[in-house]
Structure 1
Amino acid sequence: MQRIEHRACFGGWQDVYEHASDTLGCTMRVAVYLPPQAAHGRLPVLYWLSGLTCNEQNFITKAGAQRYAAEHGVIVVAPDTSPRGDDVADADGYDLGKGAGFYVDAVQAPWSAHYRMYDYVVHELPALIEGGLPASGARAISGHSMGGHGALVIALRNPGRYRSVSAFSPIVAPSRVPWGAKAFGAYLGDDRAAWRAYDATALVETATERLPLLVDQGDADEFLDDQLRPQLLQAACEAVGHPLTLRLQPGYDHSYYFIASFIGEHIAHHAAALHA
């Protein structure tokens, strides 16, 4: 990885790296916050997955997470949300194509040539981080909206790989909402049975690890009723006894003002598990 940004922040360093991705077949950027404790040894990592239209910059410039990561001694890694480049397939609109990878491995052309964000986040990115930075191998994962979907799915599909998981305003049932149906139809094809592999409400039914889920959702979110529908995840978890803390936060919308208000609590939640 080649470092292309390097800024002092809360006693540590907010960096951005660029690297050639074998998984995605393009050049990717990933933001990394190294807290001051990283100068003295290896630290656990919180992987953050951002939402639709975002890249590696949104979380690091808007969430205010560095203060809490420095307090708790946690590295924060925030990759871009999709492959990038002139030869990468794209579409009109914000909810398909670049900036909208949905953290799946596409099987349909033309998307399958590059859109393998699930494999990238689960395998290639951690190998790069743990191989080249002072990362201990202890992992947690979180995200917002499309990224909240990605965090829940990745944690549920990989028992033992992450010590904790949380999400802000996640798309909990992409198979049953317009955003997910559009993306899954394009990336995965028309067989809705295949969509279940990337649907958190389906995955909790057969999860072999009861990793507790922490979800914060604003009750003034403009996408709450048609795209997010957290009650579907609540019902799925109740049906099988999967531990879920679902907090409906009064007055908050879908924006980074919401994330900034509660990111400190989420990082403390992850730090407790990562340092245990």
Structure 2
Amino acid sequence: MQKDKNTAFIKSKALELGFDFCGISKADFLEDEARLLEIWLNKNYNGKMAYMANYFDKRLDPRLLVEGAKSVITFILNYYPEEELTETEYKISKYAYGTDYHFVIKDKLSSLLSEMQSEIGDINARVFVDSAPVMDKVWAKKGGLGWIGKHSNLINRKIGSFFFIGEIICDLDLNYDGPIKDYCGTCTACIDACPTDAISEPYVVDGSKCISYLTIELKENIPTEFKDRMENWAFGCDICQDVCPWNSFAKPHNTVEFLPNEDLKKLKNWEEITQEVFSKTFKNSAIKRTKYEGLMRNIDFLKKNS
């Protein structure tokens, strides 16, 4: 059957390109998520991230993003490092050690889409990598790639939660994978460990209190209520994932692009970083998102409140 053949081809090519897992779900309206997203926004948990309220309908219905969409193909790519950067007193999220994941995953997905078009024929499809109103974790869950944990990150039983998510939304009729059960159980490690109490209740994160939000998304000064609570995170935060028991299964990634560059490994005195050093060290890094001024604001806040 053509549907079986196309599904098998896509999953096989995904593994060849280095993706850890691939799951497929029906492109449909996310009815449950619509209600939850509305509640989350009404509580202002998006903080100053006004864009989270934009394109509400498109965020919930992939058929509004790709005409005739039938399938959401979701891919996850491990970024767990072999060694953590520990030579500096300031911490950055593991996902930012290497080349910006947007570039890496988009290249891989674009290559895959080209192969799909060569093998299968004319396909109406788009590649998405955290840059459009797509609910990545929800589609990954629907595609059976894991469950959404109490810290609101997707957890995979085999590799934990340190991975990136990307999608191809297309008009192909494929075999769909079903969701798996939630394996968080009674564990509250992530909730207990969050120094800013950002996990307001199991499975709900108040984004306006999250250290990742405060160090990346927030463009204003970090509120003084968070002094002594940032635990020296200068860009992002991994605390809720680091304490998750499922990440005992995390294994080092095999993606060369995610390795830290030599300039980053040699960087010691972050307080004296110049614009020139920032531009050279983080040329292809996700840290460019916060810009030089943003990173120095974070470091200054940590220095004053340590």
Q: Structure 1 length normalisation: TM-score?
A: 0.28
- Compare relative contact order (CA 8 Å, sep 6+) and give the higher one, 1 or 2: 2
Q: Structure 2 length normalisation: TM-score?
A: 0.25
